[in-house]
């Protein structure tokens, strides 16, 4: 059913300012501006690599305004590409899973999916010329208690193969999780996690916020160039190696991107912890 992660929706206070920041840091390109009535929001769509980033700003009482007032993470929804939106709507209808169609997209809430706070938007798959310093979006991190149950539910709703899911544990960041992979040959996935260390930043955030979409990740064809840009324009918002060869990973703090925690990895490196370390290409 799902072909890849093709977008992420973010809640922002000022779309113009947020779009300018993404252009400044990663050479993202503005694609269009419109309105999403279901969410009571105005929208600016950016091209980020071959993916899209939807910046949503509240335009009245609705889901976006509610999220902005209650949820500390700016990450609002993960977007999956599908071959045929109409056919997927029929499948969801057959399974009794509510959804709202608008503008060629299907919107689903966590309550309808059965995974608390996991909002999803489905869009027809289309190939795009990449824009900017990044290659594509490939991961969102969702926090809740019972990560295995969340991954199992995603498999049932979206026809994913749980046999291809990968367990993950991070003592460094203090969480256990499941990588709900969309397919065997792509890195695209939802990282469902349960923090276990209340002293770590993720554990502290989860204690305050509860279930939510926490952060998201992109690959960069030239991670060194992406790092150099962030260090030039937002050095205080950068976490990662500051010297040497192109970094395997780095992070950009929420204060630089309107409340969104964002990670960047060099291409293929995420296979290191995703079940196929042999697929990782050597660093340049």
Which 3 state secondary structure label does DSSP give 273? helix
* 115 shares its domain with 143: no
pLDDT on residue 236: 97
Residue 24 host element (H or E): helix 15-26
Q: What is the pLDDT of residue 123?
A: 98
Query: Domain of 105: which CATH number?
Result: 3.10.180.10
Q: Is the same domain home to 146 and 268? A: yes
In the chain, how many domains are there? 2
In-domain check, residue 182: yes
| Alpha-carbon distance values, 33 to 10, 22, 55, 234 (Å) | 14, 15, 9, 26
Q: How far apart are CA 100 and CA 253, in angstroms?
A: 32
Domain residues for 49?
Answer: 2-124
Q: What is the pLDDT of residue 21?
A: 97
Regarding whether 115 and 188 lie in a shared domain, the answer is: no
What is the C-alpha to C-alpha distance for residues 4 and 280, in angstroms, rounded to an integer?
19
149 and 271 assigned to the same domain: yes
Position 131 in a domain:
no
Q: 154 and 269 in one domain?
A: yes
**DSSP alpha helix (H) spans, 46-185:** 63-70, 85-94, 110-113, 147-158
Judgement on whether residues 111 and 145 belong to the same structural domain of the protein: no
In the predicted model, residues of the chain with pLDDT beneath 50 are none
Do 86 and 167 have their domain in common?
no
Residue 59 covered by a domain = yes
- Residues 271, 156 share a domain: yes
pLDDT tens per residue across span 17-55: 999 999 999 999 999 999 999 999 999 999 999 999 999
Q: Are residues 42 and 84 in the same domain?
A: yes
Looking at the structure, tell me whether residues 215 and 114 fall in a common domain.
no
284 lies in some domain: no
Give all strands of the β-sheet with 120-124 in edge-to-edge order: 29-36, 41-48, 51-58, 2-11, 75-82, 120-124, 105-108, 100-102
pLDDT at 283 (0 to 100): 86
Instruction: Quote the pLDDT of residue 25.
Output: 98
> Helices (H) and strands (E) in the chain — how many of each?
7, 16
Which of 136, 51, 122 has the alpha carbon at shortest distance from 92?
A: 122
Which of 124, 156, 191 corresponds to the end of one domain? 124
pLDDT, one tens digit per residue, over 267-282 is 999 999 999 999 999 9
């Amino acid at each position: 059913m799902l072909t890849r992660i093709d977008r992420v929706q973010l809640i922002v206070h000022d779309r113009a300012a947020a779009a300018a920041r993404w252009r400044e840091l990663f050479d993202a390109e503005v694609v269009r501006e419109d309105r999403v009535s279901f969410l009571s929001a105005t929208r600016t769509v950016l091209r980020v690599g071959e993916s899209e980033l939807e910046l949503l700003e509240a335009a009245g009482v609705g889901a976006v305004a509610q999220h902005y007032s209650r949820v500390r993470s700016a990450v609002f929804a993960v977007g999956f590409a599908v071959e045929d939106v109409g056919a997927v709507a029929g499948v969801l209808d057959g399974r009794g899973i509510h959804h709202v169609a608008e503008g060629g997209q299907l919107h689903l809430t966590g309550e309808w999916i059965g995974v608390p706070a996991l909002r999803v938007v489905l869009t027809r798959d289309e190939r795009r010329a990449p824009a900017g310093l990044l290659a594509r979006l490939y991961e969102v991190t969702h926090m809740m208690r019972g990560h295995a149950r969340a991954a199992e539910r995603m498999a049932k709703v979206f026809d994913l193969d749980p046999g291809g899911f990968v367990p993950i544990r991070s003592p460094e960041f203090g969480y256990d999780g499941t990588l709900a992979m969309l397919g065997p040959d792509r890195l695209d996935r939802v990282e469902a996690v349960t923090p276990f260390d209340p002293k770590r930043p993720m554990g502290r955030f989860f204690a305050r916020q509860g279930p939510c979409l926490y952060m998201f990740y992109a690959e960069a064809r030239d991670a060194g160039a992406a790092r150099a840009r962030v260090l030039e324009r937002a050095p205080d918002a950068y976490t990662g190696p500051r010297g040497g060869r192109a970094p395997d990973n780095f992070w950009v703090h929420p204060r630089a991107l309107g409340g969104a925690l964002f990670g960047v990895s060099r291409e293929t490196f995420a296979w290191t912890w995703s079940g196929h370390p042999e697929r990782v290409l050597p660093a340049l």
